[in-house]
Amino acid sequence: MISQVIFALLFIGAVVLFSINARKIYRNIKLGRKEDRSDRPAERLKTMALVALGQKKMFKRPIPALLHLFVYLGFVIINIEMLEIVIDGLFGTHRVFSGLGTFYNFLIASFEWLALSVLVGCLIFLARRNIIRVRRFFGVEMTTWPRTDANLILIMEVLLMSAFLLMNAADYKLQQAGADHYNQAGSFPVSSLLLNVLPENIDSLILIERAAWWFHIIGVLAFLNYLVVSKHLHILLAFPNTYFSKLVPKGKFPLMESVTTEVKAMMDPSFTPPPPSDEPVRFGSRDATDLSWKSLLDAYTCTECGRCTSACPANMTGKLLSPRKIVMDTRDRITEIGKNIDQNGEFKPDEKTLLDDYITREEIWACTTCNACVEACPVNIDPLKIIMELRQYAVMEESQAPAPINAMLANVENNGAPWKYSAADRANWRQQ
């Protein structure tokens, strides 16, 4: 009974703590500007199924995609067994679903093979990061913590899968020894290979089985709460993020409603402008709260995999821009704003902004707007949307842009084209 009470307190505490932290992230995302992404639900569901569940975009790099699929499917499916573990922990039973018979044996055998695939996949990923040192896992934004975070996640998964297999091995040996409370149940194709390294003493086996059982469940509950402070949050947010993906062609930029309204009022005398809004009109974005909630959801969904940066032509040529840094900076800034609200009850100005304090002007103007980063992202994050809104603020609110941009804008205004000669002279090159 004491172990059941301890388990119940740990389980309830972990779920409550996760709920509190998850609500803070949801609050932070809602701090963003409103944006309607509720259209075309069937197409959105299809996108989510293909990109988040089916990991379609991952397979542009087949080998890491296959390893990731093993880790992803293994970790998710194995945690179905958490239902049995929770019931056993709360009610003092042991393998409560063993009554399923042959199907239960099939499930446990499947879980073991999947656990092995997770274990192997994570070890290979650790080698890629720390021995092979794949280039895209490094960069100015990949400071000590992001690199440590990635390694911690992989190490935690290795430990959890090892505990799962050790628990099953000890359980199986106890079943063979006819120990009380350990009825014949399950099939153990992988963990049975560990039997020879386990002791023969029943008390020692029970200690190993119980220790592995507690380590596994406490590890999973700890991992659940670690999600909200790590890049691994994408295993939850990838689904809503891909559902709310941009469905129009990537090269189509949205019109600014405030500008469109002003132009329509100038060009069409019969146009009736909408009633004025209580919110102040701002062109573009200066801080994280000026961005849409979808951009903030993007920021929290980022896997920090670096595929966007490795595909960026500006980054390839040595320019300061890294799309991954843009997204990570956005997440850091909105998280800082959330902590400010938690401490003060409301946001108190901290003399910081996303533009300049986190993301420099040089970074946003290095972008070629080619959408390579958007195409490369395995969970449909859109760094370009953030960059464009920061540019809009710099140009339309501050009238600050690099000299070549100002010259181009002046030419468009005066000549109707980005070149310094008039539209009537555009075709003169044909006469030479």
304 torsion bin: left (phi>0), alpha (psi -120 to 50), beta (else): left
CB 51 within 8 A of CB 380: yes
Q: Residue 233's pLDDT is what?
A: 94
Query: Which residue did the predictor score with more confidence, 425 or 27?
Result: 27
Tell which residue, 405, 402, 376, has the closest CA to residue 312. Answer: 376
Q: Domain 257-271+281-426: which topology?
A: Fumarate Reductase Iron-sulfur Protein; Chain B, domain 2 (1.10.1060)
Whole-number percent of the chain with pLDDT over 90: 72
Residue 202 carries which side chain, given as an amino acid letter?
Answer: I
Structural domain boundaries of the chain? 2-30+61-231, 257-271+281-426
Q: pLDDT of 46-92, one tens digit each?
A: 999 999 999 999 998 998 999 999 888 887 787 778 888 889 898 88
Q: Which two tokens mark 183? A: 């009825």
Does 190 have pLDDT greater than 90?
Answer: yes
pLDDT per residue as tens digits for the range 197-255 = 999 999 999 999 999 999 999 999 999 999 999 999 999 999 999 999 999 998 888 88
Q: Is 4 helix (H, G, I), strand (E, B) or coil?
A: helix
Handedness of CA 290, 291, 293, 296 (dihedral sign): negative
What would the pLDDT profile of 284-311 be if each residue is shown by its tens digit? 999 999 999 999 999 999 999 999 999 9
Q: What is the pLDDT of residue 251?
A: 86
| Burial environment of residue 42 by CB neighbours within 10 A (0 to 12, 13 to 18, 19 or more) | exposed
Rounded to whole angstroms, how far apart are CA atoms 331 and 69?
26
- Grouping H, G, I as helix, E, B as strand and the rest as coil, residue 311 is helix
| Per-residue buried b or exposed e for 163-182, using 16+ beta carbons within 10 Å of the residue's own CB | bbbbbbbbbbbbbeeebeeb
pLDDT of residue 75: 77
pLDDT of residue 432: 61
Distance CA 308, CA 305 (A): 8
pLDDT digits (tens, 9 = 90+) for 345-391: 999 999 999 999 999 999 999 999 999 999 999 999 999 999 999 99
- What residues contact residue 316 under an 8 Å CB cut-off, 6+ apart? none
Distances in Å between the Cα of 207 and the Cα atoms of 2, 171, 183, 346 are 17, 11, 17, 51
Other beta carbons less than 10 A from residue 298's beta carbon:
28
What is the average pLDDT score of the chain?
Answer: 92
Measured in whole angstroms, the distance separating CA 350 from the mean position of its chain's CA atoms is 27
CB 154 within 8 A of CB 122: yes
Whether the predicted pLDDT of 1 surpasses 90: no
Is the confidence at residue 423, as pLDDT, over 80? no
Q: What is the pLDDT of residue 94?
A: 87
What is the tens place of the pLDDT at every residue in 145-181?
999 999 999 999 999 999 999 999 999 999 998 888 8
pLDDT computed for residue 74 by the predictor = 83
pLDDT score, position 258 = 78
